[in-house]
Structure 1
Amino acid sequence: MSETTELSVIEIKPEQAPALYIPNGLESYFEHIKASVSEAPDLSTKKGRDRVASLAAQVSRSKTAVEKPGREYLKRLKEAVRPAEQEIKRFVDACDALRDETRRPLTEWEAEQERIAAEKAAEEERLRIEAEQAAAAEALKKQIEDGHELALLMNIQFDRDAADAQAEAERQRIAHEEEIKRQAAEQARIDAEENIKREREESAQREAALKLKAEQEEQAKIEVQQAAEREKKEAAEKVERDKKEAQERAEREKQEAIAEEQRKQQEAEQHRVAEEKRLKDEADKRAADVAHRKTIGTAVVNALTEHAGLTREQAIETLKALMDNKIPHTSIQY
């Protein structure tokens, strides 16, 4: 089984972040990682199982290499947004205060207009009462002219009644004016209370908005802290996993080295035993050949001394000549 090469080290620089950490911006990295681990190791062998574990570890390392700069980029974005949020809050508060201050003259003017309208209504009511009194006086004058004698007789009573009527009319006018003033004051009080209530509600809304904003900021801070804690935990877990993997890999390599050394020793021992056997066989073969040649040589020497009338020394010299192929057309068959 052929194995693909190890994943190349992924490095994302800060200036690349804006173009990468967008929807589907990391797809090419994922496809690269996916293609780099698209193997099918043989799980029936230890080597294949180790390869699967190594490929999975490669994916984890590549994931961290892409995720870590992304987290740092996200942190920078949140820090960049915080001044904008603070400036928006300052601007909104300043605009609210400016709005209230800008409308204050209008609010005061509206209250003054309500007061003037109330006084005008009171004056109109007073003029109406005076007109009614004048009409009553004119009618009374006509009656006096028509019945002068009767008027003279009833003059005292009439004067008394007229004075009472005028006093009653004056009392009613004063009471009406007081009622109009009271109503105007009551309306001004109601308007002032409504303005105060509206301002309180607006203030409560601003406070609620500020509270909500503070809670959101606190939540964002908590989320950032939680993310940092998760990253710290994941980093610690990764260090622990890498340490464990390194220990396991070192142990595997150690056992493999021991097995390899044992195999080499076994092969060396087998080679030594085979070499010893080969040397012994060759030595035995040479010894047997020497003994065979010696037997044949002895037979030849004995035959030469017995049948050719040669001395032993001559027979031995003749044997040497035969062995060295110095005598043509003759040879010794061993």
Structure 2
Amino acid sequence: MAAEDIKDLVVIEKTSVQEVFLHRPTLDGILDQIRTKALSIAPDLSTATSRKSIASVAYNVAKAKTYLDDLAKERVAELKELPKLIDENRKYMRYSLDALKDEVRQPLTDWEAEQERIAAEKKAAEEAAALARQIEADHEIGLLMNREHDRLAEEKRQAELRAQQEREAEIARQAEERARREAEEKAEAERQAAMRRELEAKLAAERAEQEREAAEQRAKDAEARAVREKAEAEERARQAAIEAEANAKRAAEEAAAAERRRQETEAEAKAAEERRRAADTAHRAMVNREALDDLMATGLNEEQAKAVVCAIVKKQVRHIAIQY
């Protein structure tokens, strides 16, 4: 049946479908309209044309039913899409307004970030300055302590050197005195012996005076022997003095050699101490550098990492220490 035939019974605007099927009185009005039009034809079964007209009207009523039902189903389908469309538009609305909110607040957000950055830089600068002052103070104290330590060590070394020199000088003096005394005692003994022998020779000569002729030769021999022995004694005394002088000189040379060895030992000890200090300083610097690198590997910048290492070295961080 043509659409014009259906419209003879009912005409509904598409925008009105929802109102028609949500309000029974409106729907009843449309049904009454269709009923009125359908029953407006007087039934006449006497002719084929009349009978055909009755069938056509009944068919139009069926088509009107299908037409109305299709309109309702189409509207229901549209209504089922509404929640999805509303959700999509709701999400779009939230995203748009969130973006607008962020756009509106962005200058304030940037300003706050800039203030935080300025505050962080100021704090870092203050901490770095404080740390630099502390490091400088610690360095000055360390230098003063090193100078004081070196001064005391030098005073001790000088005192020990003077004491050693005095001991060595006393040892040399005593050795020289002992050698001189021994030489004098030995020379005196030789002289006394020579005097005794000379006296004995003189007495013997006097005793032999009465027998001079017989003993003249013996007296001459005795006198010659005495002279020879005296010369030998004097020579032995001279040799003893020379030996004592050589001993004293050797003792002085040994004392000087001992002093040189002591100075060399002291210089070696001082050099070893300086090497130990340098090695310790280098080791501490290496350990601090490794700790600094590890902290920077966690995301800290160099200044922040230095601040952490310095705080640990100063024992400002509880339960944490660097093992050197």
**Which TM-score applies when normalising by structure 1?**
0.43
If asked which structure has higher relative contact order (CA below 8 Å, sep 6+), I would say 2
User: Which structure: larger Rg?
Assistant: 2
